[in-house]
Amino acid sequence: MKRKTMWTIMTAFALAALLAPGAIFAAEWSNVTLVDSHCAQKANVKENPDSHTRDCMLMCEKNGYGIYTSEGEYLKFDAEGSKKAFDLLKASDKADHLRVNVTGEREGDTLKVSTIAMTS
């Protein structure tokens, strides 16, 4: 009986740790819009992030990058993820509608990017 109770308590603690605020979750976001952090809060970009241009994003490099999720939430990349996004933008010839597939770990509204690639 004691062993079962101990197992139940350990399981409850493990679940609580996983569901705690600020917990880190690995995930994947597909076909989401890439936007620089400076312009992400502008009303016209929020309304239509696909219209945001590559040229503007390259000029706003120092502010970092992130994505708008399919739910309309903006997730800011960590420094390494922003560098990966900048390199991707430099290599792209698309003017706008800059959509990406991203994998990484989410912590709050920040995304630690593992991989990022332009969609076709």
Domains of the chain: total: 1
**pTM across the whole model:** 0.77
Which structural domain range is residue 111 located in? 22-118
Residue-wise pLDDT tens digits, 40-72: 999 999 999 999 999 999 999 999 999 999 999
Which pair of structure tokens corresponds to residue 100? Answer: 């990406």
Whole-angstrom distance, CA of residue 101 vs CA of residue 33: 9
Whole-angstrom distance, CA of residue 50 vs CA of residue 41: 14
10-residue stretch averages of pLDDT, the chain, 120 residues long: 64 56 74 97 94 96 95 96 97 96 96 95
Q: Tell whether 15 is covered by a domain.
A: no
Q: Tell whether 99 is covered by a domain.
A: yes
Give the pLDDT of residue 113. Answer: 97
Give the pLDDT of residue 65. Answer: 98
Give the pLDDT of residue 79. Answer: 97
Q: Tell whether 107 is covered by a domain.
A: yes
Type of residue found at 68: Y
Whole-angstrom distance, CA of residue 19 vs CA of residue 32: 25
Q: Tell whether 111 is covered by a domain.
A: yes
Give the pLDDT of residue 68. Answer: 95
Give the pLDDT of residue 91. Answer: 96
Q: Tell whether 40 is covered by a domain.
A: yes
Under 8 Å between Cβ of 35 and 49: yes
Give the pLDDT of residue 120. Answer: 77
